[in-house]
């Protein structure tokens, strides 16, 4: 189901926004963030009663003035009444948010799927060194794994050889691990070490992806590497039946240099939110949408 959703999102937005792939990914991500803020505003007149929400906004402004006057006059009863009335009006405003949210959720989910597949990482360039990592079960430590270059693909080479040993490599705590340890008042726990084999690959630009074939014992699994194209390879290829994951380590896109907060909040999502959320309110005021 998830794979079908990804195919739908990529197929739809490659047609609508594929022209952004001619630019660096950070430009595309910035345009998508600004476009999302605009979409979140333009959908509101179709899903809400703007006249009613306008009266709600006017009532809230008036209540703010009355509450300020009551505080200055030290009128406790009037201040309490204004707070109670404000709560009722805010509830009306909150209930009006349901339809816009339902209307915008499907296109936004499709857009986020496309952004992950197209704008989350920089595409490898010709001659750039790309790390390809195979994650295996910990029991595979000291085994050998062979990356088989399928022919003809003379433009692909490995700087450290095609056969690599599987090593246990300790992991450093992520920013999210440190953040969570801070808010829960716990010590930062080091993640479990991974059993990995690493290749350093370089390739010439090619309009077709370079197929990567891995052999470990009796197991065979595949991935791919795209170089010099307007799209990049899948970052992760998972073979659940064998417990093996292949990672193509690409440079993540960071808007304004803002890093991610872990696997659930990668850098591109953090940058997207940093742009989108403020511009939702800015455009709401500019366009006079409630």
Number of domains in the chain: 2
Same domain as 161, residue 106 = no
Same domain as 134, residue 91: no
Q: Looking at the structure, do residues 147 and 85 belong to the same domain, yes or no?
A: no
Q: Point out the least confidently predicted range of 34-38, 95-99, 113-117.
A: 95-99
Closest by Cα among 240, 224, 252, 159 to 198: 159
- Do 6 and 87 reside in the same domain of the chain? yes
* Token pair for 123: 């595409």
Q: Is residue 260 part of a domain?
A: no
The domain in which residue 242 lies consists of 130-251
CB 213 within 8 A of CB 150: yes
d(CA 65, CA 49): 25
* Mean pLDDT estimate for the chain: 88
DSSP characters over 86-143: HHHHHHHHHHTTHHHHHHHHHHHHHHHHHHHHHTSBPPPPTT--EEEEEEE-GGGTT-
Shared domain check, 193 and 151: yes
Going by C-alpha positions, the residue among 209, 214, 178 that lies closest to residue 199 is 214
In a domain, residue 142? The reply is yes
What pLDDT, in 10s, does the model give residues 23-76?
Answer: 999 999 999 999 999 999 999 999 988 888 888 888 888 888 888 888 888 888
Shared domain check, 151 and 117: no
Residue 232 phi, psi (nearest 5): -115, 165
Question: Do residues 38 and 95 both lie within one domain?
Answer: yes
Q: Answer yes or no: do 283 and 204 share one domain.
A: no
What's the predicted TM-score (pTM) here?
0.82
pLDDT at 153: 59
* 8 A C-beta contact, residue 201 and residue 99: no
Same domain for 101 and 30, yes or no, is yes
pLDDT at residue 127 in the model: 92
Percentage above 90 pLDDT, the chain: 52
Specify the DSSP class assigned to residue 21: G
Distance separating alpha carbons of residues 189 and 24, to the nearest angstrom: 37
Q: 105 and 40, same structural domain?
A: yes
Residue 282 Cα to chain centre, angstroms:
23
């Amino acid at each position: 189901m998830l794979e079908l959703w990804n195919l739908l999102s990529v197929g739809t937005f490659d047609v609508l926004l594929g022209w952004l792939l001619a630019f660096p990914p950070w430009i595309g991500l910035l345009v998508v963030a600004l476009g999302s803020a605009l979409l979140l505003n333009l959908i509101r007149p179709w899903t809400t009663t703007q006249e009613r929400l306008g009266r709600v906004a006017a009532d809230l402004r008036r209540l703010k003035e009355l509450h300020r006057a009551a505080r200055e006059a030290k009128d406790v009863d009037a201040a309490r009444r204004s707070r109670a009335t404000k709560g009722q009006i805010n509830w009306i405003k909150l209930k009006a948010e349901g339809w816009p949210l339902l209307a915008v959720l499907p296109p936004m989910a499709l857009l986020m799927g496309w952004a992950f597949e197209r704008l989350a990482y920089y595409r490898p360039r010709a001659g750039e060194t790309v790390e390809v990592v195979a994650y295996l079960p910990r029991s595979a430590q000291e085994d050998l794994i062979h990356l088989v270059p399928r022919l003809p693909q003379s433009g692909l080479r490995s700087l450290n050889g095609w056969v690599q040993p599987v090593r246990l490599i300790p992991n450093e705590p992520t920013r999210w691990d440190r953040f969570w340890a801070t808010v829960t008042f716990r010590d930062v726990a080091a993640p479990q070490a991974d059993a990995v084999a690493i290749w350093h690959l370089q390739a010439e630009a090619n309009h077709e992806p370079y197929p990567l074939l891995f052999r470990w014992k009796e197991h065979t699994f595949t991935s791919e590497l795209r170089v010099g194209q307007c799209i990049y390879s899948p970052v992760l290829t998972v073979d659940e039946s064998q417990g093996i994951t292949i990672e193509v380590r690409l440079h993540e896109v960071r808007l304004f240099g803002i890093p991610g907060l872990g696997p659930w909040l990668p850098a591109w999502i953090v940058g997207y939110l940093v742009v989108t959320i403020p511009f939702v309110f800015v455009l709401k005021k500019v366009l006079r949408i409630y």
